[in-house]
Amino acid sequence: MKKYIYTGEYFHQTDENFTSSDIKIGLTKDFNQREKELTNTNGPIKYEMTGVWEISIDGIENPAQIIEGICHSFFHVFRYERNEWFNTEKLGKSAFYTSVTRGLSSLNRIPGVKITKVNMESDRWSNLTLENRRNLVSKLSDSDGDPRIVELCSELDCEELVLTRKYKGRDVEVIVKSNGLYYYMGEEFDTHNKMYNNGIVLDIRGVRGGSGNSSLKPYTIVKTGQKISEVINLD
């Protein structure tokens, strides 16, 4: 399983003068999901990742954990006690980020170590300006619904979409909205699992389903004819 090291910081949704000298160096196996978790607050201050590196070391099961520990030890004079946050006020954020990047790159000289910086521009943020990216991060964190649906609607720049799939040989249509909510037969659901079991299955089979089905892979977007997996990452 891939493991990643990441850096990131907080920003304010509306206050352009907001500044923070704090930077986080963390560990994750899914940096997109981790960013969503860290920015999931009710307030205007949100989180964004500024760098991600994929880590592998020959013969080591948890290589990213080792490299994270090296980073934490190296920058220990800036580190808040017993956590992953660093105060860069004395050094400066730019110098701190440069030191992290160069330090991780230099570790590639060790035989068996491979540290590759992830090109986040080629990931789901590829065509987004920083402002639009921050708007999407804010939408994802403020939504009470499925963040995948929020992302899908944002990618297609629409407030509402009609999805279709086959179930027991029948064509089924589901409406989703930019707040992440599902609608089936006029009833609102905040998760795919609830909509599937208490909507689709109940309607067609006459009894509520009991599966933990959260997959969006069977669905086609009526507007574009694309599978959802062609628009956003479902892995």
pLDDT tens string for the chain (235 positions)? 568 999 999 888 777 778 889 999 999 988 888 888 888 777 788 888 999 999 999 999 889 999 999 999 999 999 998 899 999 999 998 899 999 999 999 999 999 999 999 876 545 444 445 555 555 555 555 556 888 888 898 889 899 999 999 999 999 999 999 888 999 999 999 999 999 999 999 999 999 988 777 889 999 999 999 999 898 877 6
Token pair belonging to 171: 């064509």
CA angle 42, 233, 29 (to 5 degrees): 70
In 3-state terms, what secondary structure has residue 10? Answer: strand
Alpha-carbon span 20 to 209, nearest angstrom: 48
In order of 100, 119, 198, the CA distances from 186 in angstroms are: 51, 42, 12
Token pair belonging to 33: 């999901």
Predicted pLDDT of residue 120: 66
In order of 167, 175, 179, 229, the CA distances from 215 in angstroms are: 13, 16, 18, 10
pTM of the model: 0.55
* DSSP run (H or E) holding 22: strand 22-28
For residue 82, the cross-strand partners are none
In order of 16, 96, 156, 166, 204, the CA distances from 172 in angstroms are: 45, 52, 21, 6, 10
Predicted pLDDT of residue 163: 97
Spatial contact of 185 and 195, defined as CB atoms under 8 Å apart: no
Predicted pLDDT of residue 130: 52
Secondary structure of 122-189 as H, E, C letters: HCCCCCCCHHHHHHHHHHHHHCCCCHHHHHHHHHHCCCEEEEEEEECCEEEEEEEECCCCEEECCEEE
Q: How far apart are the first and last CA of the chain?
A: 13
Contacts of 73 (CB under 8 A, 6+ apart): none
